Amino acid sequence: MLSVFEAGRLVIRLGGGWLYPLFVLYMAAGRGAQPLFRAADVVSCVDTKIGQGAIFLYAALGIGSARGQLASRLAADKAGRLGILLTADEWVDSLECRTESLLHDLAEPAPAVETLEGRLKREFLEAPGSYVTVHDLDRSRPAARAVESYLSH
C-alpha cells in the first residue's frame, strides 16, 4: 500500500504489487515530464517495501521523504544521494530481487526509471487499473485528479 501526503494531508492511497502504484503516479505525470509534486520538502509517502526502484521513482515524482515497513540499505544509499529522507521499521541489505540488481550501478533517476519502464508489462500500459486499486483520493489536489484522469482512460 502506498500513501502519499502533501503538507501532512493525504492526497492518494494506492494498492498494488511491485512498483505499479508508483508507476501510476509517474504515468499520470506524463512519464515524468514534470514532477507530479512541485514542493518535495512537503511531500512524503508511506510504502510497504522500499528498494532502489521506489527511490528513483520518488525522485522523479518530487517526493522528498518516505517511510517504509521494510527498506533496503541500497535504497537508503540512493535516497541519501538524491536528497530523499528515508526511514523504515526494518532494514535489510537488499530486497534481493531482480529490480535491486538491475539498478545497483545506476545513480541518476532518468536512466533508472527508463530501465524500470522496460520491465512494465504491456497489460499494465493498456489497463493500469487492473494492477492498482485506489483506496483514497483527495480530488481537491491536482496530483489526485491527474491520477484519476490517467486511470479513467
pLDDT in tens, 40-59: 899 999 999 999 999 999 99
Phi, psi of 138 (to 5 degrees): -95, 95
Predicted pLDDT of residue 38: 74
Partner residues linked to 66 by β-bridges = 45, 86
Distance CA 98, CA 111 (A): 16
Q: List helix spans (H) across the chain.
A: 20-28, 52-61, 73-82, 98-103, 109-117, 122-126, 142-152
Distance CA 100, CA 71 (A): 11
- Torsion from C-alpha of 50, 56, 57, 63, nearest 10 degrees: 80
Distance CA 78, CA 129 (A): 29
Predicted pLDDT of residue 6: 95
Predicted pLDDT of residue 58: 95
Predicted pLDDT of residue 107: 95
Predicted pLDDT of residue 77: 97
For the chain, how are helix, strand and coil distributed in percent, rounded to 5? 45, 30, 30
2 Cβ contact partners less than 8 Å away, ≥ 6 residues apart: 13, 14, 15, 16, 21, 22, 45, 46, 47, 48
Grid coordinates of 122: 504491456
The pLDDT mean for the chain works out to: 94
Low-confidence ranges of the chain (pLDDT < 70): none
Predicted pLDDT of residue 70: 98
- What is the dotted CATH code of the domain comprising 2-152? 3.40.140.30
Predicted pLDDT of residue 123: 93
